Amino acid sequence: MDGEGQRATVAWETGTLAPVDRLRTERADSPTPGLVEGTEPGAGGKSAMFVHAQSFEDLTAEAEEEALRGAELDKSEEDCTEELKALEEQHNNDFSSDGRAKEEDVSSEAWRSHRKHVFVLSEAGKPIYTRYGTEEALSSTMGVMMALVSFVEAEKNIIRSIHADGCKVVFLTKSPLVLVGVSRTCQSDRELLRELQYIYYQIVSLLTLTQLNHIFQHKQNYDLRRLLAGSEYLTDNLLRRLDRDPGLLLSAVTCLPLASSARDVVSSSLQAAKAKSLVFSILLAGDRLVTLVRKKDQVLHHMDLHLVFNLVGSSSSFREGEGWTPICLPKFNTAGFFHAHISYLEPASELCLILVSTDREDFFNMSDCKRRFLERLSKRSAYQTLKDALKCPSYSVAQVGIPELRHFLYKSKSSGLYTSPEFPVVYESDEEQERLMGLYQDLHSCLHHPTRPLRSFYRCSETENLLAWVTSGFELYLCFSPLATKALAVSAVNKLLKWIRKEEDRLFILSPLTY
Amino acid sequence: MSAMRVDAKVVMLGKESVGKTSLVERYVHHRFLVGPYQNTIGAAFVAKPIQVGEKVITLGIWDTAGSERYEAMSRIYYRGARAAIVCYDLTDSSSFQRARFWVKELQNCEEFCKIYLCGTKNDLIMADRSVRQIDYHDAQDFAEEIGARHFETSSKTGSNVDELFQAIAEDYNDTAFQYMTEDTGVDLGQRKDSYFYSCCHNN
């Protein structure tokens, strides 16, 4: 059904991997990494930084519930090819060109053969966003999409997806918006749906859901592009990240490797620079988290954090001066704006400080918090250690000492953090990296299958052997050279977990602070 | 680094992509960044000291995003501003309409804010006169009508940019001096001018 039958796949029992009776032993004494949540390598102390939930399921659950409410409608291939043809004909019929950089002939073969399209439209069928080409040129195509949604809805049903011609069309209705993904990848509907949710929340983070609802209640026909003008590149970038960033796949973030003593000093300096309205202080080094201090009892959802990462990473705007911008963290609260003070510690530095405040009048207070933090930090040697750490933001897989191991992703579930070495030479090119990420995505889909979830999965191919393993404490994805054997893979897991345990001080944030 | 002291709050206003950020970049960092257009997110603040006679005045410049999305927020950026640089693109007549909107907004909400009407991208006009959409004299007339000063600048070449900010600083210095002498008078009914200390201190 999923087209996975032909693959050389073996699922196997994992009971022998770690002695069960030692699961609960103390972190310090335990040479065997815990398999249970909270004792795995990288598990933060008692207070996790992020909203604690079964993150992946948490993300997709909503949509699935909705879908289950209406009787499931998985159309057969024959039914749908017709509709898809109609869609494609629409592409042929309408094209217009103006001078946008994004401009691409939507009737061309090149446009049609993009691996993954994403469209956002209003319930009135008005185009809001397209990943490729211009919205204007696609207005009738989006009209057809809306027609499909309404047609099925009229029968008291919900359209979830259409599978046809090597193509998956996935629908996500989030009133007042409709999101449509068209993919030629082998990702599951669920994965695609999750990506659409990210795009939905990206839009909410700019406007708030309250404003969004308000606008469409007053004017159904509103052209939302007016309000989103200039934000398209944020969505473009987010889509790129979804293809490439393991953090978005794992619903986790990764940290800058840093000696725990230095990280503690940075954290406590940040903790000391507090203010009444301050809710989160986040220090980033590029795409990596250095530390995060939060108000007691307030936790951040990793999705919100990824949206912040995307905002900061996509724009050079914050290099210009101190940024001050309203931002909605949709997983925290879709109704209101926080106000973020965003600035780099030094002009050419990678270190970016984000201070999230509840008060829009508090810019100068936040600016002062930054100054105090920097003052305190500059006096300590930890600042130099931090700067030195920036020079090697990643590590080589060779450090682990498993010859056949090429790459891995390890996520500690309770802390919401993951670690991964840099890509080895074999995966140096962008295409190869995306291919490997595609393989990980595949494994991830299998482990998190809605009806038949797997605990582990071993897969051989001509180019690499892969092993994925999930316990209640962690998720692990390993990539071996094709010469490696299953026995070797199994023994590698233990060795790797021990290595991560040994390095966890450096790779994870073990003692997150609150104000 | 000591706590930031800002004498005069200056706010940049105008339609998106007229070149507000480029203007600030040119003035503060003396550079013009070539590359794909990147819109400002929210607003960016930068403090810049400027020499006026023997005094040093620190301008606190708020570079706001032109996007309609942030319009509701704009009030917090221009409140208490001593100067507003209202920008329009010399090659885009719709941006002048937007400039009129901002002028009206300022006149209604910020009576103590002096307006500097600024036509940007003058280098494009120099290269090809036919691309000009806003006549110099029309803009000049409008400026006189609203009591604003009028500049045409190019962030690419730097033309007139320093002059614009110098004028702001000098005007500020003059009016600050005026207030000072007024303050020493015996006018008991003088209005309390909270804008004197400008920006940041009024929360």
Which SS3 state, helix, strand or coil, does residue B31 take?
coil
For residue B138, being part of any structural domain is answered with: yes
Which of A315, A324, A326 is opposite residue B38, by nearest beta carbon?
A: A315
Cross-chain Cβ contact A363/B65 below 8 Å:
no
Query: Which single residue is written with the structure tokens 């080895």?
Result: A424
Decide if B200 is inside a domain: no
Strands A456-460 and A9-10, by their bridges, are antiparallel
Q: What is the pLDDT of residue A12?
A: 38
* Residue B14 covered by a domain: yes
DSSP structural state of residue A33: P
Average pLDDT of the segment spanning A378-403: 92
Q: Please, what are the domains in chain A?
A: 108-243 (3.30.450.70), 253-391 (3.30.450.30), 397-507 (3.30.450.30)
Pairs across A and B, CB distance < 8 A: 89
State yes or no: pLDDT of A52 exceeds 80.
Answer: no
Q: Give the span between the Cα atoms of A294 and A267, in whole angstroms.
A: 10
CATH number for position B55: 3.40.50.300
How far is it, in rounded angstroms, from Cα B10 to Cα B198?
10
Contact assignment for A230 to B21 by CB distance below 8 Å: no
Q: Is residue B104 part of a domain?
A: yes
Residue B195 lies in a domain: no
Q: What are the tokens at A512?
A: 């997150």
In a domain, B59, yes or no: yes
Residue B179 has what pLDDT? Answer: 59
Number of domains composing chain B = 1
Q: How many CB atoms lie within 10 A of CB B25?
A: 21
State the alpha helices, DSSP H only, in B132-187: 136-146, 161-183
Which of A42, A53, A17, A48 shows the shortest CA–CA distance to A469?
A17
| Cβ-defined contact of A322 to B200 (cutoff 8 Å) | no
Closest CA to A298 of A336, A329, A267: A329
Q: What does the block give as tokens for A324? A: 């001050």
Listed by number, the residues of chain A in 358-377 with a beta carbon closer than 8 Å to a beta carbon of chain B are 360-364, 367-368, 371, 374-375
What span, in angstroms and rounded, lies between the C-alpha atoms of A289 and A320? Answer: 22
Please write the tens of the pLDDT for every residue from A289-328: 999 999 988 999 999 999 999 999 998 888 878 999 999 9
The arrangement of strands across the sheet holding A465-470 comes to: A9-10, A456-460, A465-470, A474-480, A405-412, A417-419, A253-254
pLDDT in tens, A473-494: 999 999 999 998 999 999 999 9
- Work out the average pLDDT over A325-349: 93
List the Cα angle B77/B81/B84 in 5-degree steps. 90
Ordered strands of the B83-89 beta sheet: A513-514, A288-294, A278-285, A351-357, A338-344, A322-327, B43-52, B55-64, B8-14, B83-89, B114-120, B149-152
**pLDDT per residue over A209-237, tens digit each?**
999 999 999 999 999 999 998 899 999 99
B185 versus B5: the higher-pLDDT residue is B5
Query: What pTM did the predictor assign?
Result: 0.84
Q: Is residue B26 part of a domain?
A: yes
Helix H or strand E encompassing A119:
strand A116-122
Q: Is B140 contained in some domain?
A: yes
- CA–CA gap between residue B133 and residue A18 (Å, rounded): 75
Structure tokens given for A352: 């970016």
The whole domain housing B20 covers 3-190
